[in-house]
């Protein structure tokens, strides 16, 4: 502060600081009033924000109960989850099923012959891997990356439908084998491996063979060694071990006399071979022999010494489907045998997924039933959320006679009306429902004598068990159409229920885009041959370009067979993703044509011919010169009000008085359209839907009253804050002005004091002079 403020009153003797601060304190009283008002508005804002949170929590439970899904929830149980585990969706039907598992689905798994090391050179060129009916995948093997481990890595990077690994089987000779495992289970997912490699030892996944004999217990005195006979060729189909033990006694010289060698295999087959001379090819005989021949080199064999020969089959695990039986054979029952390519069975019982884990001859009980517990728990949460809202609202509106303290929103008519409106909706009857079940109190949700909402779980469960559809209708919105091709989907908060119904007038039916090819000879009359020169096609589906799609090279004898192949390969193309098609063969006696239709409805639905690929089949299939027809969105009105169409979905626009947000699925085709309305939809809104819509209007971020009150209070708080800042600035200026004035006063007093002292000094001097003169 300026001047002498820090030593106020030094001349005048006044307490300048105290005087100024006393003046300022009176000025600050207005600020305190503004601050008190701002604190009051802040409390109100916090109350409204809390009310908004409580209402949104209440609305969350209402929304859950207003959706059909929770009322269709099912529970699934298995009498032995170690054998079959089970899960379900809302589409499952209640019932008890008896299922046994005869066989689990398996992945096809094959192994190559052994290599001395994982870095063994396999050659250069290409290999081709094909899984089931999938298109073959070609992998190029180049110099520098042509080892066994390099091939393994290339296969894993090729998305060929298999995984590759290298194992070490522990053999002394060539222990490293390349293993291929199909990614998918099922008998149809067989792996086919084709090698076009040169300059190395390519992996062989098809030839069974015997490994070189390996000595197990071999005396130091033994100088003769076993070897495979030149005619050895394994004719078996499984991997197994032959163990050989030299018979007789002591040391025996090969060629001096017959030497007996006993053998046994992994299947407990046994036999004996006799070695007469060195180098002689000796064949095993009898069960289990399976093409094994041996020779012994010259030298000594010692009785009791053993050696082994491994028999190798490339098929480690056969591809197989799961086999299960539905039903119980007891008391004359005849179960149905079912096969599945996967142990995750989803298509046996609608809405039920069976996870097969083990085989069993005994039927497992699978029980599917309605899940009333989740609905009951949600209603309990609904009651809790409502009571929390009502309790807080009452607190804000209350006045305590004892403490003389009023609630923050005492007398606020907006909150009073909201509480009253929500309570009335809970009590109201739902129009159009039977009198015995048309209000929440009928299922055990009611107010007690204290005004608190309570829930009787027993009453609810009894009502739900005896009248599930009526109880469901009490909560959810439903739409009933008199036309099976006009289906209710959902309604919005501003959709008005109407028990008498709304007319639905369709002017344009939804359409899917398609492509019609030119006529070609009927393959049933003139077989159609696709080979490496003409088996590729390329299309655009819904504006997305496919890869070059290779159809299977074969002779097609029907148009339907070829249509199925085209559809399967288009829908499997990874560039198209979910943009699927349906392909039909349209028979015209000796000719016919292919029609390719997108599965997507609406204006964006299209099927077009793309650029011609190499080895194109466009001409032979009649695609060249074919015609595309674009899809269309549905168009029409609901209750005479404008609606927007996207695909088959027709939605009332947001400004409509009665049908805003009403969604319908229109499955009518162009030939079904009439001059007037095609149908009528009757709309009923349950308590949960009505209440949720009401709260949505209150809490809407743009138009809701809660948002309006909060925004208004926030503006007042901000204005008061600005006013306080301005007032504080004004007071600070006044304080500074007062200090300047008092400082000026002190400076003036100082000058006057100085003048007084000067005058006193002059006066005194004059007096002294006059006194001196008189003495003379």
Least confident of 97-106, 492-501, 518-527, 566-575: 492-501
**Res 70: pLDDT:** 85
Alpha helices in 664-704 (DSSP H): 687-699
Say yes or no to pLDDT of 7 above 70: no
Residues whose CB is less than 8 angstroms from the CB of residue 775 and which lie 6 or more positions away in sequence, other chains included: none
Query: Whole-number mean pLDDT of the chain?
Result: 91
| Residues 708-721: tens digit of each pLDDT | 888 888 898 888 88
**Res 104: pLDDT:** 97
Asked if residue 418 lies in contact with residue 697, where contact means CB atoms within 8 angstroms, the answer is no
**Res 747: pLDDT:** 78
- Mean pLDDT within 224-239: 95
CATH class, range 106-206: mainly beta
**pTM listed for this prediction:** 0.63
Helix (H) or strand (E) holding 312: strand 306-312
- Mean pLDDT within 218-237: 96
What is d(CA 194, CA 136) in angstroms, rounded to the nearest whole number? 10
Tokens matching residue 121: 């050179």
Domain spans, the chain? 5-61+705-775, 74-105+321-370, 106-206, 207-319, 389-475, 478-510+634-684, 512-629
Where does the pLDDT of residue 6 fall: very low under 50, low under 70, confident under 90, or very high at 90 and above?
very low
Say yes or no to pLDDT of 17 above 90: no
More confidently predicted of 725 and 459: 459
Residues whose CB is less than 8 angstroms from the CB of residue 88 and which lie 6 or more positions away in sequence, other chains included: 74, 75, 76, 351, 352, 353, 368
- Mean pLDDT within 355-371: 92
Least confident of 565-579, 625-639, 734-748: 734-748
Nearest to 195 by CA among 290, 130, 107: 130
Q: What is the 3-state secondary structure (H, E, C) of 56-68?
A: HHHHHHHHHHHCH
| Residues 119-177: tens digit of each pLDDT | 999 999 999 999 998 889 999 999 999 999 999 999 999 999 999 999 999 888 899 99
Asked if residue 158 lies in contact with residue 168, where contact means CB atoms within 8 angstroms, the answer is no
- Mean pLDDT within 657-677: 96
**Res 772: pLDDT:** 61
3-state secondary structure of 554: strand
Where does the pLDDT of residue 34 fall: very low under 50, low under 70, confident under 90, or very high at 90 and above?
confident
Helix (H) or strand (E) holding 571: helix 559-571
Say yes or no to pLDDT of 655 above 70: yes
Nearest to 530 by CA among 566, 582, 560: 566
> Under the phi-then-psi rule, with left for phi > 0, alpha for psi from -120 to 50, and beta for the rest, what region is 286?
left
DSSP 205: S
**Res 4: pLDDT:** 41
| Residues 593-640: tens digit of each pLDDT | 999 999 999 999 999 999 999 999 999 999 999 999 999 999 999 999
Where does the pLDDT of residue 3 fall: very low under 50, low under 70, confident under 90, or very high at 90 and above?
very low
Question: Interhelix angle for 16-66 vs 687-699, to 10°?
Answer: 150
**Res 1: pLDDT:** 42
More confidently predicted of 623 and 494: 623
Where does the pLDDT of residue 89 fall: very low under 50, low under 70, confident under 90, or very high at 90 and above?
confident
What is d(CA 68, CA 362) in angstroms, rounded to the nearest whole number? 37
| DSSP result, 384-397 | HHHHHHHHHHHHHH
**Res 332: pLDDT:** 79
Question: Interhelix angle for 687-699 vs 705-775, to 10°?
Answer: 30
**Res 10: pLDDT:** 64
Helix (H) or strand (E) holding 119: none
- 448-465 residues labelled b (16+ CB within 10 A) or e (exposed): eeeeebebeeeebbebbe
| Residues 395-412: tens digit of each pLDDT | 999 988 888 888 888 988
């Amino acid at each position: 502060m300026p001047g002498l403020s820090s030593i106020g009153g030094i001349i005048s003797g006044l307490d300048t600081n105290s005087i100024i601060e006393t003046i300022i304190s009176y000025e600050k009283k207005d600020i305190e009033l503004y601050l008190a008002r701002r604190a009051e508005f802040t409390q109100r804002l916090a109350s409204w924000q809390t009310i908004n949170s409580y209402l949104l929590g209440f609305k969350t439970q209402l929304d859950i109960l207003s959706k059909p899904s929770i009322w269709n929830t099912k529970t699934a149980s298995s009498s032995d989850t170690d054998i079959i585990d089970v899960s379900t969706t809302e589409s499952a039907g209640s019932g008890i099923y008896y299922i046994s598992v005869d066989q689990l689905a398996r992945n096809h798994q094959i192994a190559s012959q052994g290599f001395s090391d994982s870095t063994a050179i396999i050659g250069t060129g290409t290999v081709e891997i094909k899984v089931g009916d999938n298109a073959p995948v070609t992998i190029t093997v180049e110099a520098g990356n042509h080892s066994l481990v390099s091939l393994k890595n290339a296969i894993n990077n090729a998305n060929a439908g298999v995984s590759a690994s290298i194992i070490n089987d522990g053999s002394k000779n060539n222990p490293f084998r390349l293993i291929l495992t199909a990614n998918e289970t099922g008998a149809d997912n067989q792996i086919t491996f084709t090698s076009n490699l040169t300059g190395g030892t390519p992996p062989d996944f098809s030839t069974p063979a015997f490994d070189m004999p390996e000595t197990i217990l071999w005396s130091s005195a033994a100088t003769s060694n076993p070897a495979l006979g030149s005619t050895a060729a394994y004719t078996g189909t499984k991997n197994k071990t032959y163990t050989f033990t030299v018979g007789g006694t002591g040391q025996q010289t090969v060629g001096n006399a017959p030497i007996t060698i006993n053998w046994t295999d992994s299947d407990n087959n046994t036999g004996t071979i006799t070695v007469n001379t060195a180098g002689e090819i000796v064949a095993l005989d009898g069960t289990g022999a399976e093409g094994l021949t041996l020779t012994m080199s010259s030298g000594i064999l010692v009785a009791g010494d053993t050696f082994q020969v491994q028999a190798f089959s490339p098929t480690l695990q056969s591809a197989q489907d799961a086999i299960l039986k539905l039903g119980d054979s007891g008391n004359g029952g005849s179960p149905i045998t079912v096969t599945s390519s996967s142990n995750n069975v989803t298509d046996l019982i609608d809405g039920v997924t069976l996870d097969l884990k083990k085989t069993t001859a005994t039927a497992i009980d699978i029980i599917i039933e309605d899940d009333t517990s989740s609905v009951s728990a949600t209603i309990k949460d609904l009651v809790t959320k409502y009571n929390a809202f009502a309790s807080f609202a009452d607190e804000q509106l209350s006045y305590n006679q004892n403490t003389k303290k009023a609630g923050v929103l005492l007398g606020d008519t907006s909150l009073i009306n909201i509480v009253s409106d929500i309570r009335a909706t809970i009590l109201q009857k739902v129009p159009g429902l039977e009198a015995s079940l048309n209000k929440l109190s009928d299922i055990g949700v009611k107010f007690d004598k204290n005004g608190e909402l309570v829930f009787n779980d027993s009453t609810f469960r009894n009502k739900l068990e005896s009248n599930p559809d009526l109880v469901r209708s009490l909560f959810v919105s439903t739409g009933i159409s008199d036309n099976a091709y006009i289906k209710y989907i959902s309604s919005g908060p501003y959709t008005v229920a109407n028990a008498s119904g709304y007319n639905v007038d369709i002017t344009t039916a939804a359409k899917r885009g398609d492509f019609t090819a030119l006529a070609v000879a009927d393959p049933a009359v003139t077989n159609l041959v696709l080979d490496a020169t003409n088996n590729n096609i390329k299309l655009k589906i819904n504006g997305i370009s496919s890869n070059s799609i290779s159809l299977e090279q074969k002779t097609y004898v029907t148009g339907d067979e070829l249509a199925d192949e085209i559809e399967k390969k288009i829908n499997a193309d990874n560039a198209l993703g979910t943009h699927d098609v349906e392909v039909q063969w349209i028979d015209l006696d000796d000719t016919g044509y292919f029609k390719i239709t997108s599965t997507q409805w609406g204006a964006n639905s299209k099927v077009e011919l793309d650029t011609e690929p190499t080895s194109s089949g466009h001409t032979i299939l009649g695609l060249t010169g074919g015609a595309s027809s674009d899809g269309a969105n549905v168009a029409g009105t609901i209750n005479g009000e404008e609606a927007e169409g996207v695909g088959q979905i027709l939605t009332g626009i947001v400004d409509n008085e009665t049908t805003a947000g009403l969604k319908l699925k229109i499955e009518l085709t162009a030939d079904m359209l009439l001059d007037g309305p095609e149908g009528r939809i009757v709309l009923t809104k349950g308590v949960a839907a009505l209440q949720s819509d009401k709260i949505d209007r209150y809490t809407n971020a743009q138009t809701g009253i809660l948002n309006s009150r909060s925004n208004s209070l926030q503006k007042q708080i901000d204005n008061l804050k600005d006013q306080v800042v301005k007032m504080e600035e004004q007071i600070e200026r006044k304080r500074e002005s007062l200090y300047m004035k008092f400082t000026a006063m002190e400076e003036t007093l100082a000058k006057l004091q100085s003048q007084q002292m000067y005058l006193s000094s002059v006066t005194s001097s004059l007096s002294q002079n006059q006194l001196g003169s008189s003495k003379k």
